[in-house]
Amino acid sequence: MGNCESEENPTFRTINNDLLSSSNIYKNWENFNNNSSKSKNYDTIGGEKDVYRISRIKIKPQKIGTFEDLSNNIQENNTNNSTSSVSPGTEISDNYVLDNGNLDKFSRLKSLNSLKSSSSGSIFQVSTFRNMNNDKDFNKNNNEKKRIIRRKINSSDKALEIMTEEKLKKLNDNKNIDENNLNINFKKDIMANIVNEINFKCLKTIHGHKDKIVCATKLKKKRTFATGSYDNTIKVWNLNSYNCEKTIKEEGNVICLLEFEENMLLSGTNKNNINLWNISNLLLMFTFKGHQSWVNNLTKISNKYFASCSNDCNILIWDYYNKICVKVLQGHIDGVLSMITLSDGKLCSGGADLSIKIWDCLTGKCCTTLLGHKKWIKCLCQLTNNYLISGSDDKSIKLWSNNKCIHTFLGHSRSVRTLCQINDYLFASGSFDKTIKIWNIYHFNCIQTIHGHNDLLLIIIKMKSDEIISCSSDHEIKIWINN
């Protein structure tokens, strides 16, 4: 038949004889087939269901029985015998070629193996052979499933999120905003180098107020600024000498300040009034009356008009020269806490009703309402390219573009009280957690946290791109410089 069946192949003969001896196949087969010769000049092999006798002489294999018959015979003879050992890792093959010309050593070795039953110890178990194809199909399908799972795990598909059409639309909208408006890639290399150089340090600490300092504004006179405090005073400071040049005595707590024109300072107080002061001679020029509660913020609309907001839920637009209120903006259902003028001349206000409203000053109507914060909105600031940021008691800062919140800055552990733009790509925030944080507008990350104040941080203003001033409930004014 082939070299594998030659007597000159001792390896095959040894394995073959060991298997026959260990499994008692040869002995039991002699008992089963009484008509066979006692000379050991043949071997037996098992097909899928039938058993064949194969002579070492080149003749066609002869079918002599079935596995079922052989198994029954062996089980009767081996009822009281111990379990025979079977070579590990071997199995019955169902792919036999029983032709004299191409039956090779491998197929014969596979055919001469037997399976040991775990229950009875029988070498043959008919059910095993009958279900072999089903087991193979099961293993094949199982392995294929495992390969599919591995491909899925290793593929980039695992990073994809199943989302609703609404979420997908929102994602596309944000992508368009990022690409068309934010320009995240704008001067990335230059920005990276500049950001690495940001390191604000305290240059000077100024004392003078006797109570918390809640507001400050830069003055038109070079290197000067004014602060307002709950000690009922307004102080004018010179940064060259770090001294207080002038002090104005108010009737109540000073809540907000605005220099409308040079040497003419407006102050809002907890007495519901807005006072106009001449800084040069420290005289009170006029008192604007109209609000029914504290005046929380002031902003200049044009060279003729300014606006004020109050806890009475109203925003009043004033004619500065005629000293009259020309319009009342109503829409907030709770106190209006913060307010700024946008670059297009519209007003933006934030309130205790958790809303941000954008107003048309000519018509007095609310154009847009922005919702997103969960607590009072304490501060607003407009950034480069008309981005808007808002700070809230919910500890967050939200970035708005095209009337949508496109990012939320998180990092402060308490209320965000004040916001200030430093340059085209950086802004600062001050919080009740006593810290100042410097944020990158385009990369959405905090690049520096500044510690120094011992109490609530209430106001930050910018003097130069590398110089900011902060005021706190600790009665101190600190000058910070990037060096």
- Looking at the DSSP assignment, which residues form a beta bridge with residue 436? 430, 450
Count structural domains, the chain. 2
Residues 140 and 200 in one domain: no
Whether 87 and 201 map to the same domain: the answer is: no
Same structural domain, 392 and 310? yes
Asked whether residue 275 falls in the same domain as residue 417, the answer is yes
- Please report whether residue 152 resides in a domain: no
SS3 category, 39: coil
Q: Same domain for 129 and 203?
A: no
pTM of the model: 0.61
| H and E: helices and strands count for the chain | 8, 31
Domain membership of residue 164 (yes or no) is: no
Q: How buried is residue 414: exposed, middle or buried, by Cβ count under 10 Å (0-12/13-18/19+)?
A: middle
Retrieve residue 453's tokens: 């104040």
pLDDT confidence band for 267 (50 / 70 / 90): very high
Point out the least confidently predicted range of 70-84, 262-276, 322-336: 70-84
Same domain, 231 and 317: yes
Rg of the Cα atoms in the chain: 45
Residue 174 falls inside a structural domain: no
**Which pLDDT value is given to residue 163?**
42
Q: Is 238 helix (H, G, I), strand (E, B) or coil?
A: strand
Range of the domain at 348: 188-482
Say if 327 falls within a structural domain. yes
Residues 359 and 424 in one domain: yes
SS3 59: coil
Question: Are 128 and 269 in a shared domain?
Answer: no
In a shared domain, residues 97 and 219: no
Classify residue 170: in a domain, yes or no: no
User: For residue 158, is it within any domain?
Assistant: no
Identify which of 143, 441, 243, 326 has the alpha carbon closest to the alpha carbon of residue 235: 243
Tell me the pLDDT band of 384, cut-offs 50, 70 and 90.
confident
pLDDT at residue number 465: 80
Query: Mean pLDDT: which of 53-67, 128-142, 407-421 is highest?
Result: 407-421
Q: 301: domain CATH number? A: 2.130.10.10
- The answer on 196 and 70 residing in a single domain is no
Mean pLDDT, residues 13-35: 44
Q: Is residue 316 located within the same domain as residue 212?
A: yes
* Residue 176 maps to a domain: no
Give domain status of residue 183, yes or no: no
Q: Which pLDDT does position 169 carry in this prediction?
A: 55
395 and 254 in a single domain? The answer is yes
